[in-house]
Amino acid sequence: MELVTTPIMPAVAIVDSRNVWGSFRKLFGRGRRVDVQGVRCAFRRFGFDVTKVYVAIGTQGPNHNRTSRLTSTLGQNEGYAARIAADPMGNVLHGRLVQRGQDVEEKLVDVQCAIQIARSAYEIAESRTKAQAILVLSEDMDLIPAYDFARDLGVRVFAASHATLDSRPDSPWLLLPEGSWKEIAGGQLPGRYVGSELRRQMAKACISGQPLMMTFKVRRHWKSNVLLDHNSGACAMWRCTPDCPHGHRPGDRHALYVVGLELDENDREFPIYSVSPAPAAQPGAFQRATLKAWRTPTRVEVQLADGSLRVLGASIGFGLPGMSLLVQEYTSGSQRGWRLVGALEARPPTPGWTNPTLPELARATSSASSPGARVRATLIRTQQEITLQPPGGETPKAGDTYAVSPIAHTQTATGVHVHAVAISSCLPS
Give the tens place of pLDDT for each residue, 102-151: 677 788 899 999 999 999 999 999 999 999 999 999 999 999 999 999 99
CA atoms lying within 13 Å on the CB side of residue 426: 13
Pairing of strands 324-332, 286-296: antiparallel
pLDDT at site 3: 37
- Amino acid 233 reads G
**CA atoms 359, 22, 188, 197: torsion sign:** negative
Mapping DSSP to helix (H, G, I), strand (E, B) and coil, where does residue 92 land?
strand
Alpha-carbon dihedral of residues 336, 337, 341, 345, nearest 10 degrees? 110
Residue 121 sits at φ, ψ, to 5 deg, of -60, -40
Is the pLDDT higher at 342 or at 105?
A: 342
Is the pLDDT higher at 251 or at 408?
A: 408
Q: Are 348 and 319 in contact (CB under 8 A)?
A: no
For the chain, the residue count is 429
The set of residues, in sequence order, having a beta carbon less than 8 Å from that of 147 and lying 6+ positions away, is 117, 136, 157, 159, 170, 171
DSSP letter for each residue of 357-418? TS-EEEEESS--SSTT--EEEEETTT--EEEEE--TT----TT-EEEEEEEEEEEETTEEEE
Residue 1 has pLDDT above 60, yes or no: no
pLDDT at site 264: 53
Quickly state the pLDDT bin for 220 (edges 50, 70, 90): confident
Out of 3.40.50.300, 3.40.50.1260, 2.40.50.140, 3.90.1150.10, select the CATH number for domain 208-276: 2.40.50.140
Every domain of the chain with CATH number 2.40.50.140 lies at: 208-276, 286-343
What are 164-186's pLDDT values in tens digits?
999 888 889 999 999 999 999 99
Residue 306: count of CB within 10 angstroms of its CB: 7
pLDDT at site 221: 79
Quickly state the pLDDT bin for 393 (edges 50, 70, 90): confident
- Amino acid 204 reads K
Residue 261 sits at φ, ψ, to 5 deg, of -125, 140
| Fold for the domain defined by 286-343 | OB fold (Dihydrolipoamide Acetyltransferase, E2P) (2.40.50)
CATH number of 360-422: 2.40.50
Report which of 122, 115, 113, 112 is spatially closest to residue 151, judged by C-alpha positions: 122
Residue 295 sits at φ, ψ, to 5 deg, of -95, -35
**CA atoms 138, 70, 272, 235: torsion sign:** positive
Report which of 117, 116, 129, 122 is spatially closest to residue 51, judged by C-alpha positions: 129
**Cα distances (angstroms) measured from residue 346 to each of 66, 250, 272, 288, 290:** 48, 34, 21, 15, 14
Mapping DSSP to helix (H, G, I), strand (E, B) and coil, where does residue 152 land?
helix
Indicate the range of 262-266, 272-276, 376-380 predicted with least confidence. Answer: 262-266
pLDDT at site 73: 84
- Amino acid 18 reads R
Strand positions, DSSP E, 113-224: 133-137, 156-161, 173-175, 213-222
Instruction: Round to whole Å and give the CA distance between 106 and 40.
Output: 24
Instruction: Round to whole Å and give the CA distance between 37 and 43.
Output: 10
**CA atoms 119, 120, 122, 128: torsion sign:** positive
pLDDT at site 231: 92
What are 308-330's pLDDT values in tens digits?
999 999 999 999 999 999 999 88
Largest CA distance in the chain: 73
User: Interior CA angle at 5 toward 2 and 6, to 5°?
Assistant: 70
Please state the rounded mean pLDDT for residues 269-289.
83
What are 222-251's pLDDT values in tens digits?
777 888 999 999 999 888 766 555 557 888
pLDDT at site 188: 76
CATH number of 9-184: 3.40.50.1010
DSSP state of 14: E
Q: Are 147 and 169 in contact (CB under 8 A)?
A: no
Please tell me the pTM assigned to this model: 0.92
Every domain of the chain with CATH number 3.40.50.1010 lies at: 9-184
Mean pLDDT (the chain, rounded): 89
Report which of 360, 429, 366 is spatially closest to residue 395, judged by C-alpha positions: 366
pLDDT at site 403: 97
Q: Are 403 and 424 in contact (CB under 8 A)?
A: yes
